[in-house]
Amino acid sequence: MMKASATLTIGRKTMIGTLLGAVSLGMIGSTAHAVSVPDHIRVALFLDLSSKYQALTPAVTLSSAGGMKLTWNGAAIATVNAGKSVRFAVDGYRAIILETDDLAAATSVLKTVQRSTNAALLIRLSKNGKTVYQVTEGNYANAAAAAAAVAKWTNAGVAAGVKSLSAPVVAGPWAVEAGPYANEAAAAAAVASFGALGLDAFVSQKLTGSTPSYYVRIGQASDASALAELKNKAASVGVPILIPDASAAYVVLRNDLTASGTPDAAVPLYALSASAKLLAAPVNAGNGILVTERSKRTYRGNMELSVLNGDLALVNDVPLEQYLYSVVGSEVPGSWPLETQKAQAVAARSYAVFSGTGFQIADVVDTTLSQTYNGIGAENANSVAGVNATAGEVLTYEGKVIDAVFSSNAGGVTADNATEIWGSSTPYLASAAQSPDAGPQEGKLEWYKVALSDGEIGYVRSDYLVYSGAKNEAGIPLYASTGDGVSVRPSPQTAGAGANPIAKLYKNDQVVVLDKVLEYTNYNWVETFTADQLANSINKRAKSKIGSLQTLEVSQRGLSGRVSEIKANGVPVDVGVPDNLRGALGSLKSTLFDIEETGRFSVVGANGAQKNFPTEGSASSLQIQGASGAAVTAGSSNLFVLNGDGELRAATTDPEFVITGKGFGHGLGMSQWGAKGLADQGYDYQSILQYYYKNVKIEKDGGE
């Protein structure tokens, strides 16, 4: 770990020389119009990339204050009125848990199922001359998986005691069809006729050539074997019934009561086949489209609905510069200097252009897996100004747009990709550089790490303790509380997971001070783990499992001081690339850290023999001899020992680990807090970018 004194502050004179050296290597685009920057970008929402491209939501609800147009293959299929919602899902395999004519009962079952999953729907349809309600769950890959779900919900008794019109069953995408019909009204009238026979029937649309036409889709069968019987029964209506080509694209229109729960407040639900693709566009572009399931955020541009790997896919097709309004506003505070906004805009634009179609059907995603994009609500005047002032500008290296990665806070020094993060040699991400990242500490007080009278260890803000003038029996100074109800916290912070008090101090209560530390921020932080917590976390990510964790130590560091290898119980832990250590060690903020092993210490006995803890392969314990000569066995509570220099240290008989570190994120490329620090010192965005990305040029879109 690099010393704080080397990274906390960087003087203006020192930085000037460093920046001039960086700028001289790559001045602003001397080759005009050398690159091409696209006008639009495709942003995938809801994608889970842990194993394959999978959606995180089974249904999407869209609306727009000015109304929307739905199109398929460029042809209009529906108009959604201002402020009204429309939903989309996949016409796949589902569990029909309940079919009843009792709406209240159906709503109750729906709510029960929703406690366990977000894949439950309440659909209204007409059968046998009455209105009925189906509670369905899931979008499953096949009929067998849906059948297992039917059994699960049946065994759980979620619909027990409810009047049901049919037994729980698997619903699937197999159906017969009638049509085409002249319009939606004609198709809806035909639906009523088929429903009177007790059949599940819905208005649908499919392409005739390149034009959408209205049909009626009859049945929700789980396989093709049911189609002949469905066809014969539906034919009694007196119209031709066809078994459609299974590969033909279609959408089914259902009446969705999931959100409203009232009979006359149904929301149109378009269930898409595997090859269907719809586009929702706001009538007034200035209104944007609200996505209910994405925290009710509103987005510029259009929304494309399709099916990817059997799941619903939602892609926001938006002008690149307008996308950046939100990215910059999401990534850095609007109160930060304009030059920081500009630097972020160019970095984000470069990253987006470099990505290409990196996500199969999209260029980027809306999370930090790419860069944060929270829609129109994240925009602010400064983010818009920063994007507009740098319109079309990207960073290039040897004529190609770079992968301009960035992180929140480099902890005072940027990372080296080859030795510390992802293990690749990227020239413009190779050199570690000092970074003025200490901004999160501004205005923050220091904290005391203290030991309470019962042996508990915690943190107290420094303005709540004063030296009492007294010492304990071991000659250790005692500090006293200056007020009543002073919180002792497990971490030096007043907000967050580590902020809940573990004890309270009252005026003149005395404690022993073990250390004085900075407040927990994205620049400086501390985390404490038990051996079991870290062992479980490591075993989820390491290629070889570890047993009981006794020791954990840093065994290798890279150029910036970031940890590139750790050893558990003396054996290197293989988690792949070094940056994966963050996740393997309980989701640390960065890999710029030190490990303190509180259970690791040596004791010299009265006979001069040295004993090392933890003692591997032995159950021997630590015996402590008191002033009376009696020996006691140290328990599981904290120990407080003096080292050879007379410094007091907290130790534990069981292995525990205190990890202290700096920074937030991988630390490659531009540090956002560092960019702010440079802008505060008067540097422009070009100098900031060319400091963090080595030997690059800033070039303008060749299309302008």
- Quote the percentage of the chain above a pLDDT of 70: 86
What beta strand segments (E) does 521-609 contain? 524-530, 552-557, 563-568, 571-572, 593-597, 601-604
Amino acid at the residue 395: L
Going by C-alpha positions, the residue among 259, 245, 261 that lies closest to residue 175 is 245
Residue 14 burial (10 A CB sphere; 0-12, 13-18, 19+): exposed
- pLDDT of residue 223 exceeding 90, the answer is yes
Q: Output the CA torsion sign for 665, 666, 672, 674.
A: positive
pLDDT digits (tens, 9 = 90+) for 66-101: 999 999 999 999 999 999 999 999 999 999 999 999
Give me the phi and psi of 216, to 5 degrees please.
Answer: -120, 125
CB 18 within 8 A of CB 433: yes
- Quote the percentage of the chain above a pLDDT of 90: 74
What pLDDT is recorded for position 704?
47
Please state whether beta strands 302-308 and 278-282 pair in parallel, antiparallel, or not at all (unpaired). Answer: antiparallel
Q: What is the mean pLDDT of the chain?
A: 87
Q: Which of 12-16, 145-149, 350-354, 474-478 has the lowest mean pLDDT?
A: 12-16
The C-alpha torsion from 283 through 285 and 287 to 293, rounded to 10°, is 90
pLDDT digits (tens, 9 = 90+) for 337-356: 999 999 999 999 999 999 88
**CA angle at 62 for the pair 60 and 65, rounded to the nearest 5°:** 165
Alpha carbons 69 and 495: distance in angstroms, whole number: 45
pLDDT digits (tens, 9 = 90+) for 293-324: 999 999 999 999 999 889 999 999 999 999 99
Q: Is the peptide bond before 655 cis (omega within 30 degrees of 0)?
A: no
What pLDDT is recorded for position 605?
54
What pLDDT is recorded for position 369?
85
- The mean per-residue pLDDT over the stretch 461-468 comes to 94
Residue 647 burial (10 A CB sphere; 0-12, 13-18, 19+): exposed
Pull the structure tokens for residue 552: 């954990």
154 half-sphere exposure, CB direction, 13 A CA radius: 14
Pull the structure tokens for residue 147: 């059948």
Going by C-alpha positions, the residue among 303, 333, 251, 252 that lies closest to residue 62 is 303
**CA angle at 335 for the pair 333 and 336, rounded to the nearest 5°:** 75
What pLDDT is recorded for position 259?
86
Alpha carbons 686 and 693: distance in angstroms, whole number: 11
- The mean per-residue pLDDT over the stretch 148-154 comes to 96
What pLDDT is recorded for position 646?
58
pLDDT digits (tens, 9 = 90+) for 235-251: 999 999 999 999 999 99
Pull the structure tokens for residue 527: 């985390």
What pLDDT is recorded for position 642?
57
Give me the sheet containing 393-397, strands edge to edge: 400-401, 393-397, 697-700
Alpha carbons 499 and 507: distance in angstroms, whole number: 21
What pLDDT is recorded for position 499?
87
- pLDDT of residue 25 exceeding 60, the answer is no
What pLDDT is recorded for position 496?
82
First-to-last alpha carbon distance for the chain, in angstroms, is: 47
Q: How much helix, strand and coil, in percent to the nearest 5, is found in the chain?
A: 25, 35, 40
- The mean per-residue pLDDT over the stretch 203-223 comes to 93
pTM (2 decimals)? 0.85
* CB neighbours of residue 438 within 10 Å: 23
Assign 29 a pLDDT band (cuts: 50, 70, 90).
very low
- pLDDT of residue 24 exceeding 50, the answer is no
**CA angle at 8 for the pair 3 and 13, rounded to the nearest 5°:** 115
Assign 601 a pLDDT band (cuts: 50, 70, 90).
low
Give me the phi and psi of 174, to 5 degrees please.
Answer: -85, 130
Alpha carbons 673 and 589: distance in angstroms, whole number: 15
What pLDDT is recorded for position 598?
78
pLDDT digits (tens, 9 = 90+) for 672-684: 999 999 999 999 9
- The mean per-residue pLDDT over the stretch 662-674 comes to 97
Assign 425 a pLDDT band (cuts: 50, 70, 90).
confident
What are 496-499's contacts with CB under 8 Å, separation 24+? 496/520, 498/527
- pLDDT of residue 48 exceeding 90, the answer is no
- The mean per-residue pLDDT over the stretch 664-679 comes to 97
Residue 631 burial (10 A CB sphere; 0-12, 13-18, 19+): exposed
Assign 7 a pLDDT band (cuts: 50, 70, 90).
very low
- Going from the C-alpha of 526 to that of each of 444, 458, 597, the distances in angstroms are 15, 12, 13
What pLDDT is recorded for position 649?
61
Tell me how long the chain is. Answer: 704
- The mean per-residue pLDDT over the stretch 467-490 comes to 89
CB 212 within 8 A of CB 258: no
CB 670 within 8 A of CB 343: yes
What pLDDT is recorded for position 640?
58
H/E segment holding residue 7: helix 4-7
pLDDT digits (tens, 9 = 90+) for 538-594: 999 999 999 999 999 999 999 999 999 999 999 999 999 999 999 999 999 999 999
The C-alpha torsion from 587 through 589 and 591 to 597, rounded to 10°, is -70
Assign 606 a pLDDT band (cuts: 50, 70, 90).
low
In three-state secondary structure terms, 388 is helix
What pLDDT is recorded for position 600?
62
Pull the structure tokens for residue 204: 């649908």
- DSSP assignment of 107-131: HHHHHHHHTT-S-EEEEEEEETTEE
